[in-house]
């Protein structure tokens, strides 16, 4: 029986996807690399440094490690400037109610995010004390699609991977959950997240019945 739920952060709990896009777009423009929302799909869930390397390879550009660090630092400065203005109003629809429903029914909850900004974001939206475990970009060596972040989340909650359901908005994140031996509910477009066990448009569509149906499949 499913005992735990691991939530991705960006794009599942909070609407930070546009802020990541704006920040990457500004760096890509500066480098002369064409970059649109579809390209951005492939950066979701991917670590900052790996995202930077993907943009460089899209433009067939070679940079030194030092230049790459400077570019990612500037991307992050633009991003943090935007997200530091977030408030509880930026929590995505249905999230707060669903988290409460899980808690009321004894399901353990954790965050599994690639973002090193996780602590800042959770504090801005007032969710810093809601999760039993938080595993983020500061605590993993391999970014999604590697399952490390979710396996560490399950371990921190004291449950087996097969007892976890992961909520993800990214192709890389769905792959990470499946590779980790977990169930995965995609949040977003079913055409993009087709590897998930179920895809919902947003968290307002989640009921305990739907959750249990996937969890106990």
Active site residues: 8, 10
Handedness of CA 103, 138, 26, 34 (dihedral sign): negative
CA 130/CA 102 separation, integer angstroms:
12
CA 117/CA 108 separation, integer angstroms:
23
103 is in an annotated binding site: no
Judged by CB under 6 A, which of 19, 47, 95, 200 binds ligand B16? 47
SS3 for 178? Answer: helix
- Angle formed at CA 196 by CA 193 and CA 197, multiple of 5 degrees: 145
Build a one-symbol-per-residue string for 5-44: x at contacts with Mg ion by CB under 5 A, - elsewhere: ---x-xx---------------------------------
Our CB check for ligand B16 shows the closer of 77 and 217 to be 77
Our CB check for ligand B16 shows the closer of 53 and 205 to be 53
Does residue 147 bind ligand B16 (CB under 6 A)? Answer: no
Does residue 83 bind Mg ion (CB under 5 A)? Answer: no
- For 191, residues 6+ apart whose C-beta sits below 8 A from its C-beta are none
38 is in an annotated binding site: no
Q: According to CB under 5 A, which residues from 144 to 163 bind Mg ion?
A: none
Residue 137 binds which entry of Mg ion, ligand B16, none, CB below 5-8 Å type-dependent: ligand B16
CA 189/CA 185 separation, integer angstroms:
11
Minimal distance in Å, beta carbon 158 to ligand B16? Answer: 22
Verify cis geometry, omega within 30 degrees of 0, for the bond prior to 145: yes
> Could you give the strand order of the β-sheet that contains 108-112, starting from the edge strand earlier in sequence?
133-135, 108-112, 4-7, 164-168, 183-187, 198-200
Our CB check for ligand B16 shows the closer of 21 and 211 to be 21
Does residue 45 bind ligand B16 (CB under 6 A)? Answer: yes
Does residue 113 bind ligand B16 (CB under 6 A)? Answer: yes
Does residue 152 bind ligand B16 (CB under 6 A)? Answer: no
Give how many residues touch ligand B16 by CB under 6 A.
20
Q: b/e string for 172-205 if b means 16 or more Cβ within 10 A?
A: bbbbbbbbbebbbbbbbeeebbeebbbbbeebee
Task: By CB under 5 A, name the binding residues for Mg ion.
Answer: 8, 10-11, 169-170
Task: By CB under 6 A, name the binding residues for ligand B16.
Answer: 8-11, 20, 43-48, 51, 76, 113-117, 137, 170
């Amino acid at each position: 029986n499913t005992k735990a739920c691991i939530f991705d952060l960006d794009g599942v709990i909070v609407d930070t996807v546009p802020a990541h896009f704006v920040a990457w777009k500004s760096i890509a423009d500066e480098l002369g690399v064409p970059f649109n929302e579809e390209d951005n799909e492939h950066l979701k869930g991917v670590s900052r440094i790996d995202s930077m390397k993907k943009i460089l390879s899209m433009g067939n550009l070679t940079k030194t490690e030092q230049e790459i660090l400077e570019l990612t630092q500037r991307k992050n400065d633009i991003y943090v400037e935007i997200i530091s203005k977030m408030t509880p109003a930026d929590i995505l629809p249905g999230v707060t109610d669903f988290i409460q429903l899980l808690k009321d029914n004894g399901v353990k909850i954790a965050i599994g995010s690639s973002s090193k900004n996780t602590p800042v974001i959770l504090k801005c939206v007032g969710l810093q004390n809601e999760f039993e475990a938080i595993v983020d970009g500061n605590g993993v060596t391999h970014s999604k699609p590697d399952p490390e972040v979710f396996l560490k989340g399950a371990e921190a909650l004291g449950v087996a991977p097969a007892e976890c359901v992961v909520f993800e908005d990214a192709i890389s994140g769905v792959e990470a959950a499946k590779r980790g031996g977990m169930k995965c509910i995609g949040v977003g477009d079913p055409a993009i997240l087709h590897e998930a066990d179920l895809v919902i448009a947003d968290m307002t569509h989640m009921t305990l019945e739907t959750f249990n149906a996937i969890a106990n499949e």
